[in-house]
Structure 1
């Protein structure tokens, strides 16, 4: 018996990285999944590999009409919608003083507005199914500031706040809303951005209490828990998966 038997999920940004790992984990645990992304070739390939329990739909998370299409794809193909995972996101690096407004707004539109539109589109279907779970992907940057990520941090703090508001508004509809806060995860998004090429990432991860970079599967396991009935009394909460990054400064290394 799978942990998500009978559930239907919609996952944004599911063509690769964390979203792909979530889609694979959800199908493995019995869910039927609609994968949504801008990367059509990659997304279609993942859906094909997952078989008849998965389908792919093109989704630009900034567009309300495409969100409506994605939700309709879930309900028409699989009969209902129980779970929304707002996973899609982008990163633009730049200091507060020099970041162009255009780049700042690109991040806000995808990470913040995209999450808002996804919840807004999914709520009627979740309500019609008798309730469900929304999992919003924030970040450790939604809990603490990191230099050079003003737009990303702003967007992820917003996701955290929207999650709590949605949890308060939707709880009586049996819709739970929680946020996941990953630290560094080994996905294409954290490939060294401009200005960070000389950072020795291995030494950064070695200083963590759990001394390694995160894997997409680490995040997927947490999303799976929040999508399942195992988290039936969890809503409006923050779930951190960061190897201990936010726990405190590392201990001095000894030989």
Structure 2
């Protein structure tokens, strides 16, 4: 084997090994506010390119977990690793993580194109490359006709598309989404779920997606967990998630089956 072949084989082996290593590893993570323990020794791995959906009711600790992972609140105990690097004591700007919630938080003084291009321009990318990347992204999110509009001229769904597009082009190591579509109407929400699923696969995003909606969970998720009062249950596969009565999915399936039978 030549030197070049050896180098290529080594590179391929390293890439293959990296693909089988967790992008994020959380071990025994706890968060306490005063005497109240909000998160209780949570542990999980997230592989590259996966979307982990965390299902849970309001007040169970989902947002606290997301903010702790993003570095927006301190952890009491435990470890957070991103690509095998400990980030638990790093600031939010050093983690390579983007956190999105219900509020798109667009820059009001910038139009759609400028909002999407923001991260690329921060990296001082060449103007032509920025323009090409933004043009392609506008096509992907179907907002070409709205490229020059400002934040106040957009619908809720359009704002979320812009925020999502901006996050994708920032190339985060990890994307955290905290019920990002819950304030949208049903049609817009369905469209955003489909768009998220398509672009996640297209851009090989690694994400954690928090929701209390089981249908949304099944649309966007590759792997699944359920949170209750600061504890996290990780399901081994999609079927295990779907058959667990605690998720509400079996009851919903039974309801629709009964409804269909009654109308026959």
What interval of TM-score do these two structures reach, taking the shorter chain for normalisation? 0.3 to 0.5
Structure having the higher Rg: 2
Task: Give the strand-richer structure, 1 or 2.
Answer: 2
- The TM-score normalised by the length of structure 2 is 0.32
- The TM-score normalised by the length of structure 1 is 0.33
Q: Which has the higher contact order (CA 8 A, sep 6+)?
A: 2
